[in-house]
């Protein structure tokens, strides 16, 4: 199930307008129940036993456990305080022939750090001519301030071709959290 076509077409339009990239609603956009499901589906589809997956700590809590469930090894790289930027030299030193995926998250939960053009350039150079997939958790794509840019992978063809982008209605439309049943709202 890839989601209602009209919604996928609307997401194609949104991606065109915001990031200047045209994705095929027929086979490049999938609607799932949450970003959490999108992360799980992406990792379980693309990561196999024996693979290594690089991600950054601190991070949203599901990345490492999902990788482990595939029989793969999560490799955590510590983000550098005080501004929690990525040390790309350390990433370069951590990549091995087994590296299958790098999980990035900009704007970042929990620090709020946002990628810069320099981050994009380093990521592009490190993954060029490799089999590495970039899983880009972009659930905070709208959380930008002071005229800064959200550097979606969709903006950069060399990264877009190797990336899965995960977005979230929950975050974009402020509908996170659980639905609970209340006595004032009896079941119909
Ligand atoms: C960075 C990050 N990714 C993914 C998610 C999960 O999003 P969703 O609520 O759409 O499953 C969260 C939720 O807090 C998050 O902070």
CA distances 172 to 61, 63, 99, 122, 146, Å, are 20, 21, 31, 28, 18
Average pLDDT in the chain: 93
The β-bridge partners of 164 are: 135
Does domain 32-172 sit in CATH 3.40.640.10? yes
Burial of 1: CB neighbours in 10 Å, binned 0-12, 13-18, 19+: exposed
Question: For the chain, how far is it from start to end, CA to CA, in angstroms?
Answer: 29
Cα of 188 vs centre of ligand 1, distance in Å, is: 31
- pLDDT of amino acid 81: 87
| φ, ψ for residue 91, nearest 5 deg | -60, -45
**Which tens digit of pLDDT belongs to each residue from 96-110?**
999 999 999 999 999
Beta-bridge mates of residue 101: 53, 133
Q: What is the structure's pLDDT at 188? A: 44
**19 pLDDT above the threshold of 80:** yes
Ligand 1 centroid vs 109 CA: distance in angstroms? 9
Q: Indicate the top mutation candidate among 84, 106, 109 to test ligand 1's pocket, ranked by most ligand atoms within 8 A of CB.
A: 109
Which has the closest alpha carbon to 10: 29, 34, 27, 32?
Answer: 29
pLDDT category, 174, cuts 50, 70, 90? confident
Q: What does the domain layout of the chain look like in residue ranges?
A: 32-172
Mean pLDDT on 106-135: 97
In this predicted structure, the answer to whether residue 119 has a pLDDT above a threshold of 50 is yes
Is the confidence at residue 13, as pLDDT, over 90? Answer: yes
Give pLDDT, residue 63: 98
37-69 pLDDT tens trace = 999 999 999 999 999 999 999 999 999 999 999
pLDDT score, position 185: 45
pLDDT at 186: 47
Q: Percent of the chain, pLDDT > 90?
A: 88
* Mean pLDDT value of segment 66-81: 97
Q: Atom 14 in ligand 1: which residue has the minimum CA distance?
A: 60
């Amino acid at each position: 199930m890839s989601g209602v076509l009209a919604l996928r077409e609307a997401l194609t339009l949104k991606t065109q307008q915001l990031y200047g990239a045209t994705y095929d609603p027929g086979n490049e956009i999938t609607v799932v129940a949450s970003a959490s499901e999108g992360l799980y589906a992406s990792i379980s589809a693309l990561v196999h036993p024996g693979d290594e997956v690089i991600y950054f700590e601190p991070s949203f809590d599901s990345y490492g456990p999902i990788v482990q469930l595939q029989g793969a090894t999560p490799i955590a790289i510590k983000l550098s305080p005080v501004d929690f930027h990525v040390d790309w030299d350390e990433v370069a030193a951590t990549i091995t022939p087994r590296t299958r995926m790098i999980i990035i998250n900009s704007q970042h939960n929990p620090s709020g750090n946002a990628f810069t053009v320099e981050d994009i350039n380093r990521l592009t150079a490190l993954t060029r001519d490799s089999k590495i997939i970039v899983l880009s958790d972009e659930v905070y794509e709208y959380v930008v301030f002071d005229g800064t840019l959200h550097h979606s992978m969709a903006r950069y063809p060399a990264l877009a071709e190797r990336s899965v982008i995960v977005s979230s209605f929950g975050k974009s439309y402020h509908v996170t959290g659980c639905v609970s049943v209340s006595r004032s709202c009896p079941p119909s």
